[in-house]
């Protein structure tokens, strides 16, 4: 049976038509994230973007991950509590309109009375497990709100979110640092690693970020290098709080531009990593469909 695999996020929708073996037959994307869809219009937008796939040979089923399953989405698919494996997720998918379209729930976890959540990343993690065969260890998904997830025996046992990407954008756009930082500059690995090392001083981001101001004030670093330095400060701060004694490699899932930075920072801490991209999403939705419709 073919599968229409959809990653429907806040700002965009990405879709793939997969065959029974999980091979990608067709792919498309559109800037129709859930924020652009009026309430009640999700079915119409879905039909306009992938309706032809749904009417294709063998009447494919469809699985949708991401923010489309949030309160602001098509239908709410309540979070699945950790620890959670594919079977736990499968038990909590929510049917939409017909029994051929289902929304995948996100994951939740709680630390000391404070909840944490993910939506969409869980599918990428299960896809990475399927693609690599690595059923234990640390899975890291860089982005606006990065996720660090711990996997044991193929189940997500816990995770934490870090607002690293959003802080970088805030500081680079709206803070005093924005005047002397060129956030469009390409990565300078040396400046980035200086920032990673600086974050290890344990003085905290609130202090170290001001260093990106004074290094400019004293003419010690230019606007392009400062962007990489700030990125290093932020990612180094993330790593500072992590216990990196995971067995095996850390699995990085994301765009090359972001995963490269984590690879560099992890390598400096003596931690090996492997990297996966968008294919993890399709592999995850395919694995879930095999669990749901065996």
What is the three-state SS of 232-257? HHHHHHHHHCCCCCCCCCEEEECCHH
List, edge to edge, every strand of the sheet that includes 98-103.
24-30, 13-18, 3-8, 61-65, 98-103, 94-96
CB 115 within 8 Å of CB 270:
no
Q: Which is nearer to a second copy, 41 or 166 (CB)?
A: 166
Q: Is 135 in the site for a second copy (CB under 8 A)?
A: no
Cis preceding linkage at 83, omega within 30: yes
Q: Is 205 in the site for a second copy (CB under 8 A)?
A: yes
Q: Which is nearer to a second copy, 152 or 241 (CB)?
A: 241
Q: Is 1 in the site for a second copy (CB under 8 A)?
A: no
Q: Work out how close the CB of 60 gets to a second copy at its nearest, in angstroms, rounded to a whole number.
A: 33
Distances (CA, A) of 180 to 140, 167, 175, 274: 30, 16, 10, 34
Helices marked H in 9-64 = 42-54
The dihedrals phi and psi of 92, each to the nearest 5 degrees, come to -120, 15
Q: Is 293 in the site for a second copy (CB under 8 A)?
A: no
CB 73 within 8 Å of CB 96:
no
Q: Is 39 in the site for a second copy (CB under 8 A)?
A: no
Q: Which is nearer to a second copy, 164 or 289 (CB)?
A: 164
Task: Give the interface size with a second copy as a residue count (CB under 8 A).
Answer: 42
Window 213-252: contact mask with a second copy (x via CB under 8 A): -xx-xx-x-------------x--xx-xx-----------
Write out the binding residues for a second copy, residues 65-84 only, by CB under 8 A: none
Write out the binding residues for a second copy, residues 148-177 only, by CB under 8 A: 160-164, 166-167, 170-171, 173-176
- 17: tokens are 């038509």
Q: Is 201 in the site for a second copy (CB under 8 A)?
A: yes
Q: Work out how close the CB of 164 gets to a second copy at its nearest, in angstroms, rounded to a whole number.
A: 5
Beta carbons within 10 angstroms of residue 124's beta carbon: 29
Q: Which is nearer to a second copy, 30 or 117 (CB)?
A: 117
Which residues sit at the interface with a second copy, rule CB under 8 A?
111-112, 114-117, 145, 160-164, 166-167, 170-171, 173-176, 198, 201-211, 214-215, 217-218, 220, 234, 237-238, 240-241
């Amino acid at each position: 049976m073919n599968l229409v695999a959809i990653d429907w996020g806040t700002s965009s929708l990405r879709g793939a038509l997969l065959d029974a073996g999980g091979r990608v037959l067709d792919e498309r994307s559109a800037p129709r994230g859930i924020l652009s869809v009026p309430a009640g219009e999700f079915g119409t937008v879905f039909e306009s973007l992938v309706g032809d796939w749904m009417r294709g040979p063998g009447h494919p089923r469809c699985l949708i991950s991401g923010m489309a399953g949030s309160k602001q989405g098509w239908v709410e698919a309540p979070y699945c509590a950790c620890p959670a494996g594919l079977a736990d997720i499968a038990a909590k998918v929510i049917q939409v309109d017909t029994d051929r379209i289902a929304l995948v729930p996100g994951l939740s976890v709680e630390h000391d009375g404070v909840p944490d959540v993910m939506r969409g990343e869980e599918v990428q993690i299960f896809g990475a497990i399927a693609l690599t065969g690595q059923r234990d260890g640390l899975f890291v998904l860089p982005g606006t709100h990065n996720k660090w997830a711990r996997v044991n025996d193929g189940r997500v046992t816990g995770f934490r979110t870090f607002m690293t990407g959003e802080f970088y954008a805030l500081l680079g756009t709206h803070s005093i640092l924005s005047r002397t930082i060129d956030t469009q500059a390409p990565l300078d690995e040396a400046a980035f690693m200086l920032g990673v090392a600086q974050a290890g001083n344990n003085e905290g981001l609130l202090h170290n970020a001001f260093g990106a101001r004074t290094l400019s004030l004293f003419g010690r670093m230019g606007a392009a290098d400062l962007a990489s330095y700030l990125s290093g400060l932020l990612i180094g701060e993330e790593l500072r709080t992590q216990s990196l004694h995971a067995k095996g490699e850390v699995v990085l899932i994301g765009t090359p531009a972001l995963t490269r930075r984590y690879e560099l920072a992890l390598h400096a801490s003596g931690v090996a990593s492997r990297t996966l991209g968008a294919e993890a999403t399709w592999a995850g939705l395919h694995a879930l469909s095999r669990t749901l419709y065996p």
